[in-house]
Amino acid sequence: MDTPYKITVVKVLTKTLKVRIKDAKVLCEWARAVNFTWNYINELSSRSIRERGKFLSAFDIHPYTTGAAKDLGLHSHTLQCVAKEYVTRRKQFKRARLNWRKSGGAKRSLGWVPVNTGMATWKNGQVYHNGQYFGVWDSFGLGDYTFRSASFNQDSRGRWYFNVIVEIPELVGPTLPTAGGSVGIDLGLKTCATASDGQKIEGRFYRALETKLGIAQRACKKSRTKAIHAKIGNQRKDMLHKFSTALVKNNAAIFVDDVASSTLVKTKMAKSTLDASWSTLKTMLEYKSHQAGIVFEVVNEAFTTQTCSCCGSNPASSPKGRSGLGIREWTCSVCGSVHDRDVNAARNILALGHGRLAGGILALTA
């Protein structure tokens, strides 16, 4: 029987999966060895710059660490990954010497053990690396994937996680029947995201627990403070995943505005901007859309709040500038339509997205 849904693999995408490790005693030892290696490379590199005026590359560092993996209890490829990461961060921050990685004390560095491509595998229902098996809470079915580069990472509460990059196919055409609609999304502060169909999610995850967090911090309860921070992050991530997954399942095209958080984090609105987590939501929508084979576009948000989504005019009654930030509903003085500020902006973003698609189709058929 023929099916109307044809699936075609066009290219391979990558995705990072994160699972928690059950027993991580050996990872703490490896993390101390990684810190020792980082500090050695840090001193070696800064001395080379100071005495010879030469910036060592990752290839130049390798001879100095050859044979040390066995004594440190690490995989030889882990030393190469540490050297590569060090050179990358030195170039990023444009410094001759980076900060030391500390294995103890109040300001200790969180544990980190990098794993090169193919050096971690899935064996007997566990993660296998460097002769050790690590039991994990596998919620992704890791046995179905081929591991690429990975890392073991520790959070502030001392819990260890295995982060691995895997390959997933990008499909043309959904694997299951989906709605053929489209949606525009307006990003904001008090309301993290508003869809053109009226859906909204609040972006005040940190603000909701800010009072409890302050009480724990003033009482010097470090474990409680870390637990609250983790709860805030988990709540935010859970909400964004549910929202983005629902949009991908119910639409064939998603359009988001191009508002950038990098500018607003330098203002008095920094706390609300970081709490809304726009970048995370965009990233989720992008990779989920590509995986499902639907359209995802970022459009220019200029004047989307001021323009009436019904008649397309920019009336004098629309909210403008800082003085209009408090206006949440307004009436168009041209056509008389009553608008919710964010929903109206989302509808204009949807219209701009359709205009971009139409332009692309005309260009292709010309």
The DSSP code sequence of 209-264 is THHHHHHHHHTT-HHHHHHHHHHHHHHHHHHHHHHHHHHHHH-SEEEEE---HHHH
pLDDT of 61 over the 90 cut: yes
With a threshold of 0.95, does the pTM exceed it?
Answer: no
Domain boundary residue among 263, 292, 321?
292
Mean pLDDT of 308-322: 81
Same domain, 28 and 90: yes
Among the listed residues 101, 98, 97, 81, the one whose alpha carbon sits nearest the alpha carbon of residue 49: 97
Q: How many domains does the chain have?
A: 2
pLDDT at 197: 87
Within-domain flag for 360: no
pLDDT of 86 over the 80 cut: yes
pLDDT band at 358 (very low <50, low <70, confident <90, very high): low
Q: Which two tokens stand for residue 218?
A: 């003033």
Residue given tokens 């909210």 in the structure block: 319
Q: Which is more confidently placed, 172 or 68? A: 68
Domain boundary residue among 247, 276, 292?
292
Burial class (CB in 10 A: 0-12, 13-18, 19+), 193: buried
Among the listed residues 101, 109, 95, the one whose alpha carbon sits nearest the alpha carbon of residue 40: 101
pLDDT of 202 over the 70 cut: yes
Within-domain flag for 7: no
Residues 6+ apart with CB under 8 A from 171: 7, 8, 9, 10, 291, 292, 293
pLDDT of 8 over the 80 cut: no
Q: Which two tokens stand for residue 353?
A: 């997205």
Burial class (CB in 10 A: 0-12, 13-18, 19+), 190: middle
Q: Which is more confidently placed, 190 or 75? A: 75
Same domain, 202 and 62: no
Q: Which two tokens stand for residue 156?
A: 């502030």
Cα–Cα distances (Å) from 320 to 110, 118, 305, 363, in that order, read 46, 55, 8, 35
Within-domain flag for 309: no
Range of the domain at 214: 182-292
Order of strands across the sheet with 253-257?
200-202, 191-195, 182-187, 253-257, 295-299
Q: Which of 4-13, 26-35, 253-262, 340-349 has the lowest mean pLDDT?
A: 4-13
Within-domain flag for 6: no
Same domain, 72 and 217: no
* Alpha-carbon torsion, ordered 244, 249, 252, 257, to 10 deg: -10
Same domain, 167 and 60: yes
Burial class (CB in 10 A: 0-12, 13-18, 19+), 268: exposed
Same domain, 86 and 129: yes
* Backbone φ, ψ for residue 168 (5° rounding): -135, 145
Same domain, 158 and 115: yes
Same domain, 104 and 146: yes
Mean pLDDT of 346-363: 70
pLDDT of 134 over the 90 cut: yes
Within-domain flag for 311: no
Among the listed residues 19, 27, 26, the one whose alpha carbon sits nearest the alpha carbon of residue 113: 27
Same domain, 108 and 212: no
pLDDT band at 6 (very low <50, low <70, confident <90, very high): very low
Same domain, 163 and 23: yes
Within-domain flag for 101: yes
Domain boundary residue among 292, 327, 352?
292
Q: Which two tokens stand for residue 304?
A: 């989307």
Within-domain flag for 337: no
The whole-angstrom separation of Cα 108 and Cα 110 is: 6
Within-domain flag for 4: no
Same domain, 149 and 245: no
Same domain, 71 and 132: yes
